[in-house]
Chains A and B, each alone.
Chain A
Amino acid sequence: MNRILVVDDEANIRLLYAEELADEGYEVATAATTAEAVEQLQKQNFDLAVLDIKLKNESGIELLQKIVKERHDMPVILCSAFSCYKDDFSAWLADSYVVKSGDLTELKEEIKRVLAKKAQRKASGM
């Protein structure tokens, strides 16, 4: 079972993601701040992280940079209400970018795609 870390400062969004992704068969952990996220990442291994970009007084992009640096084998999907971040070079470090929506179909499809890609990479020994 793939384990996903969801990082978002909105409790309801964390809850929604946790419910929906669990329904899809993933094991989901959540974090409200970067500190919580780092702590979770240190405690256990995740197959994928879904990050919000604007976290109260913090930046999800900084967390992304940290993950890329320290856990480069773990794919990250950025999920934000701000479509403009798509054009931000630093956001390009992520494996995918999804604009937040009540319809989680796109997010779910991206998670599937990214995990499949990761599995393929692993299989080919890269």
Chain B
Amino acid sequence: MDNAAVQWECCWDRDLTSLEDCPNLHEGDGDLLASRPRRFLEKCCDCDRFKTDLSRFRESGHPLAPFFAILHNDYRRQRSQIQSLGSFLDTKTLEVRFLHELGSVLQSSVDLDEVLSVALTAITSGKGFGMNRAFLLLADKERHFLRGHLAIGPRSAEEAGRTWQEVSTSDLDLQHLSRAFRQHKLSAERDKFQDILGRLVISMDNIHHIVIRSLEEKKPLLVQNAFQNPDVDQELAQLLGVDSFLILPMLARNRRVGAILADNVITRQPITEDDLRSIETFTFPVAFAIERASLYERLQVEVTKLQDANQRLQEQQELLVRMEKMALVGRITSSIAHSIRNPLMIIGGFARSILKATPEDDPKRGFIDSIVSEAQQMEEVLDEILTYSDALYPVRDFWDVNQLVETVLRDIQEKALSQNYACRFHPAEGLPSAYLDYKQLSYCLRNILVGTIDGLENGALEISTRLDGDRIEILIDDRSRRLSEDELEALLTPFAETHEMGSGLNLALCRNMLEKQDVPFLVVAPPDDGIRYSIKLPTRKEEEP
């Protein structure tokens, strides 16, 4: 075949100068004008005119013609393969990028809600796996049941249209999408799907249940024809209301963490094996992230408990140090008091002896009398100090508080009557027993009452008991006196003195005794409203729950 004599229809054998010279050349193909081999491979091989030329060549009987036709066909087949491989590669690249983004987000979070938001957003977002709806089931703490925990997706076509429109215009990446979901929609979605989530409860012992089977076999399942499928629990199919859905088991270090169910309830688009394989790769990091976040959550609970315990320990330590100091003060005062006691007793004793032997009209009798009474007074002070220092180890038991108050009131009755001081008791009925040191509490009450009555006539005291939570409160209201803040402070300070009520040793001692028994003792003196003492007694031993 003489090439010069043949007029070929296609332009493959000619040099071209303009795009108009070839109907297959378009704008942007300018560089092909300069390279005939590239133009031939990219354009002519698919050109119908070239195919016609090739037929004519075959018809010419040239021995190379059949071989040339084979080459042409094979070249086109291989090129098509390369193109589809390229497109597959592009898809996979996008998938890998998405998984990488997902992985980064999941790895960086230990917040369970954030992890769950990311996981479910990834499944349902168009940039992710594009499913319509997803349900997350989590194993409970005891690993007995899988329970519906969270869901995402529209419940109607209208909602779907609205949401997808919003998402498509927002142009957010996965991290921002999931963050927006977590901040604005998480609890709303949970509420929205509560009717389904509440019923999504699967016993983890039920190995025949398709979700548990997926977990046992550690492989995701694509469920088809759910309503007719004998392997599918019909309750589950009815609950989801779809014929086809995915089950994605989530396992972390062989621990069954939960499962995700995903479907296309709105679009009814078929779910393919390819969808299954794509999503499968994502379940591992999600499961690990969920497990890690759950563990972190538990760790946080333990850390909080530890912090609380540490704080309590610190408080106890401070209390111990305070008690140690008090005990030291107690030991010192006790030692001094005992050293003074014997000489004081001797002075007082001999003074009394001399007084007895001194005639009534002796002018020195008054002096001796003073020695006796001063020594007596000092002995009384010593008694107070010794009681204060001895009050270190209370002996506690359960006692009837009303009875205790009545006994103390009987003890001071004579003194109250002598000063025309009215003491009225209003006991609460049906009180439980209180856990207290009878001797010490009696002492404290007596001290408070005597201190109140002392030096004042025609006053009135109201004493009452009441149940306050798990404690019994004794209230003593003294409306006959007024105290300023400074005087109140002095009242509770050992050896300080108030104009109104004398030495502060008694109340300081009471507070010390009661604090050691973990009994709050409060004294308040609102301006122009008297003084109120409050003692709150426990009704159970501290170690009891």
With the chains together, A94 CA to B383 CA distance in Å? 22
Q: Are A81 and B350 in contact (CB under 8 A)?
A: no
**Chain A residues positioned under 8 Å from B379 (CB to CB):** 101-103
- Asked if A16 is an interface residue, CB under 8 A from chain B, the answer is yes
Give Cα A20 to B357, complex, Å: 11
Chain A residues lying within 8 Å of B347, measured Cβ to Cβ, are 102
A126 vs B50: C-alpha distance when bound (angstroms): 147
A102 touches B349 (CB 8 A): yes
Whether B346 contacts A104 by the Cβ 8 Å rule is no
Q: Mark A102-116, 1 if CB is under 8 A from B, else 0.
A: 111000000000000
Task: Please pick, from B348, B383, B386, the residue contacting A102 in the complex, using a CB distance under 8 A.
Answer: B348
The reply on B375 being an interface residue by CB < 8 A is: yes
Q: Which of A19, A23, A81, A83 has a CB less than 8 Å from the CB of B342?
A: A81
Chain A residues whose CB sits within 8 angstroms of the CB of B352 once the complex forms: 102-104
CB distance from B411 to the nearest CB of A (A): 18
**Would A10 and B342 count as touching, CB distance under 8 A?**
yes
Chain B contacts for A102, CB-based, 8 A: 344-349, 351-352, 372, 375-376, 379
Extra pairs beyond A81-B338, A101-B345, A104-B349 (14, CB < 8 Å): A10-B342, A12-B346, A12-B350, A13-B346, A23-B353, A81-B341, A81-B345, A82-B338, A83-B387, A102-B344, A102-B345, A102-B347, A102-B348, A102-B352
- Interface status of A118 (Cβ within 8 A of chain B): no
Q: Does B243 contact A (CB under 8 A)?
A: no
Chain B contacts to A: CB under 8 angstroms: 338, 341-342, 344-353, 356, 372, 375-376, 379, 383, 386-387, 390
Q: List residues of A (61-84) whose CB comes within 8 Å of B's CBs.
A: 81-84
Least CB distance, B144 to chain A, in whole angstroms: 57
Would you call A16 and B350 a contact (CB within 8 A)? yes
Query: Does A100 reach chain B (CB closer than 8 Å)?
Result: yes
Q: Which residues of A contact B (CB under 8 A)?
A: 10, 12-13, 16, 19-20, 23, 81-84, 100-104
Considering the complex, give the chain B residue whose CB is closest to the CB of A81: B341
Q: Name the B residues within 8 Å of A84 (CB-CB).
A: 386, 390
Which chain A residues border B344 with CB–CB below 8 Å?
102
Say yes or no: B386 contacts A101, CB within 8 Å: no
Residue from A12, A102, A103 with most neighbouring chain B CB atoms (10 Å): A102
> Which A residues are in CB contact (< 8 Å) with B387?
83
B390 touching A83 by the CB < 8 A rule?
yes
Rounded to whole angstroms, the CA-CA distance of A23 and B342 in the bound complex is 21
Q: How far is the CA of A104 from the CA of B353 in the complex (A)?
A: 10
Q: Decide if A100 touches B350 in the complex (CB within 8 Å).
A: no
Distance (whole angstroms) from the CB of B327 to the closest CB of chain A = 14
